[in-house]
Structure 1
Amino acid sequence: MSAPPVFEDIGFGYRPRAAYACDPAKSRGRFYPEPESPTRTPYQRDRDRIIHSTAFRRLKHKTQVFIAHEGDHYRTRLTHSIEVAQIARALARALRCDEDLAEAIALVHDFGHTPFGHTGEDALDDKMKPWGGFDHNAQSLRVVTRLERRYAEFDGLNLSWETLEGLVKHNGPLETRGGEGIDGPVPKAILDYSALHDMELSRHASLEAQCAAIADDIAYNAHDIDDGLRSGLLTLEMMREVALPGRILEKVDERYPRLDPVRAGHELMRRQITVMVEDVINSAQEKLLAAKPASPDDVRDAGYTMVTFSQTMALDEKTLKSFLYANLYRHPEVVEVRKAADRVVRELFDAYFADPREMPEGWREGLDRADERIRARDVADFLAGMTDTYAIKEHERIFGSGLFDRFAVLR
């Protein structure tokens, strides 16, 4: 495939791709070889396949912080993924990387999340402990390499190696060079796939993947504040006591002394994103200038993450996360809803595992005769793919509990 056109540096917008950026013309290819597209680069095709997948549509009804039934205006995994992709593209553009690859990784990074966010993941991981546990990152890989069934010639989406690398390692290497897991055992799904299509688990991922990873942090830090303010669980007065949002609100107050709280909250969100993005760009440019990587492999072999916050911003971000955990994610009202969500996932798993006939056609065939490991993993695949709303309906169908009826919608 011939290289795509390189854009001229016009001072604003597109700039020439850097030597350390992933070049789509030099992609390592796909697990199942396919003819190249005459109109799209491999990474553009990956992005398009991701957007048209069933897993992408399901993100619409998967929770970000608030359960999907709690209101139409809160973030879901879908809106969050789109917001992450926008920030990832902005970072990739500024750092002269491949924007399409950064966007593709951002759009696919949450495919493996269960219904009810991390509550659902923790519950499913606990139920799957006898059979290797559950990890949303490994599940994302299962979705795009096995569970999506859209193509006549292969299972999965057959994404390019670079997109899969970014999906698996966007938060950093998974193994030491000696093959030991860095944060505990590497999930079996990742090891099994890497044995067939080497993901180089001991190396860092591309700069594009690093852009997607930190874009995730930037997006949810800002947008969880926005949702928290909308719900009434957070207030602007509370935010003024936190270092980073407090400084931003002080400037907003100086310029717009009579601004209404709703607009002030939106000013906080957009300014915080801008401040964090600009900090990452400056920090990454300093690291790139010092390291002088001449290829994507130089980035992978650097031994550290190049796309990071500055030390000052990293401290501010850590403080903000601690505040959000204490005042939003662990707020008593959120905790009560999550207790119900935890029960839904656990009881559904037990019901499907005990009697696979409770699952729909296409999932239950042969599971009554399969060994426990296969049955458990298929049940986990089915459960992980559920939306919040479908999981609630299935629980009501089987148990008739109406667990969520007692919770008022947060508005």
Structure 2
Amino acid sequence: MAARKRPSLYSENDWKREVDEGGDTDPWRLPVGRDYGRIVHSASFRRLQGKTQVFPGHESDFFRNRLTHSLEVAQIASGIAERLNHVDPYFSEKKLDLRLCEAAALLHDIGHPPFGHNGERALDDLMRDAGGFEGNAQTLRIISRLEKKVRRAADFKGDDRAGLNLTYRLMAAVLKYDRVIPARRAKNKKLVKGYYESEADVVRRIKSHTAGNVGGRAFKTIECAIMDLADDIAYSTYDLEDSMKAGFLTPASILASREDLLSKVAKKTSEELERSITPDDILEVFSDIFAVIVPEDSENSLLSFVETFQTSQELSESGYLRTKLSSALVHEAINSVEVELDPKYPMLSKAYLNDRARLRVEILKQYTFESTIYSSRVKLPEFRGYEVVKSIFEALASERGFLMMPDDVREHYRSASNKAQQLRIICDFVAGMTDRYATEFFDRLHSNAGHSMFKPV
């Protein structure tokens, strides 16, 4: 009896696009290769260089921005897929597409507005009655609508923009949350992560061309899961590295953390992992983490490390040790990824970190968030970012404020059929700004000093 053939991970439908562009294509160039090129050459991807990761770019050339972070996530995602192709019995036969995982990772932050999560919070507050604002939803909107690459046929009824016109399988790989964001929500309701109603038709076509009818299964592709893990690994590791370089944290200061800080981190970590984590657990993880970069001939590795790096200045000068630490953490995390195969729908198989690695990643995320991102030195410029975004949005949404937007955006605004659509167009424009562009736009709204009317918006 012949062995039953395993279902393929990819099909011809995966590589179809919203718009058939026609014409001849190079026979050696795969569809996902074209996707990758379109991302790298897009304006939205370039603008990530001007968007803050943790520390504003003007503070130092060392610190990561959204663009360099996305490049690191892409490398980690590729590394995860490469390892799974080697060690997993199923994927060693039906290979994960490394370029697809990389491309999804390059896109994962493309929907973020200026000033990080504070900019996102400002836009969501302003859009609460018009569908809200959420970075992942904005990513899908950018690649399927806003990027100026492809238009639909002239006789198409409705919005004829097709964005980058990427393959369905790549768009599926950035669809992290399979639900529509409500058009309105009460003030006490938190942001719902998902996609906007305006892209619901795109999501339906993504599903029909990739997984088809999957019944009650949650729709999240394995490439999306890999991208998500790579993002967690990258920012849990590299936010720590940036914080140490900035002098915000040292191993000694972490191991001597205040009880209230450790309690906050333990509480947040417990909520995320849905199990009890104590302050002692936090310290135990960090003791283990910092032992990695101690010289091998040290008699007492932890004690030697703490004694050697008592001050932030000492650690700031040791780029070799920071690099060694980051490399070890990323390498261990990649080697800790496991898969739960869905034999009926292999593309919906789950990739996840084992318990030990997930604990470490979550503690690193929560500790850096509470100690650095919530610090007064970081919060002050973040607060200004909220006010800048809010002020620009309100000015553009005022009577005839839309006239301050570029000509092509004005035309979309004028053709909008209702107020909610008009607000979404304003939101798209503001969300696409870099930190510097938003600051300059804000200054031109509120001051005449040093600004020329001949410089276009």
1:124 and 1:134 in contact (8 A); partners too: yes
Out of 274, 292, 308, the position equivalent to 1:251 is 292
- 1:391 equivalent to 2:438? Answer yes
- Please name the residue that 1:12 is paired with: none
1:243 and 1:319 in contact (8 A); partners too: no
- Please name the residue that 1:264 is paired with: 321
Looking at CA atoms only, which structure, 1 or 2, has the larger radius of gyration? 2
- 1:69 equivalent to 2:58? Answer yes
- Please name the residue that 1:218 is paired with: 233
For 1:170-219, what per-residue CA distance to the aligned partner results, in whole angstroms no more than 9, with x for missing partners? xx5448xxxxxx95775323424224554679533322221111000001
- 1:364 equivalent to 2:410? Answer yes
Task: Give structure 2 stretches of 5+ with no counterpart.
Answer: 86-95, 153-160, 181-190, 257-282, 299-307, 450-457
Alpha-carbon distance in 2 for matches of 1:385, 1:183: 21
Partner of 1:150: helix, strand, or coil? coil
Question: Aligned-pair RMSD on alpha carbons?
Answer: 2.8
- 1:236 equivalent to 2:287? Answer no
Q: TM-score, normalised by structure 2?
A: 0.73
Out of 389, 413, 426, the position equivalent to 1:379 is 426
2:114 and 2:438 in contact (8 A); partners too: yes
2:237 and 2:364 in contact (8 A); partners too: no
- 1:317 equivalent to 2:361? Answer yes
Out of 192, 197, 218, the position equivalent to 1:188 is 197
1:236 and 1:265 in contact (8 A); partners too: no
Deviation larger for 383-392 or 364-373 = 364-373
1:46 and 1:160 in contact (8 A); partners too: yes
1:240 and 1:247 in contact (8 A); partners too: no
Deviation at 1:105, TM superposition (A): 0.4
Alpha-carbon distance in 2 for matches of 1:138, 1:37: 32
Alpha-carbon distance in 1 for matches of 2:146, 2:372: 34
- 1:40 equivalent to 2:29? Answer yes
Amino acid at match of 1:100: R
Task: Give structure 1 stretches of 5+ with no counterpart.
Answer: 1-17, 176-181, 403-411
Deviation at 1:312, TM superposition (A): 1.9
Alpha-carbon distance in 1 for matches of 2:103, 2:11: 13
Alpha-carbon distance in 1 for matches of 2:355, 2:367: 19
For 1:242-261, what per-residue CA distance to the aligned partner results, in whole angstroms no more than 9, with x for missing partners? 44443132132242757962
Aligned residues: 364
Out of 165, 172, 189, the position equivalent to 1:165 is 172
Q: TM-score, normalised by structure 1?
A: 0.81
1:276 and 1:309 in contact (8 A); partners too: yes
In structure 2, the CA distance between the partners of 1:24 and 1:192, relative to structure 1 (3 Å rule), is closer
1:363 and 1:378 in contact (8 A); partners too: yes
Alpha-carbon distance in 2 for matches of 1:129, 1:58: 26
Alpha-carbon distance in 2 for matches of 1:254, 1:19: 48
Alpha-carbon distance in 1 for matches of 2:37, 2:415: 38
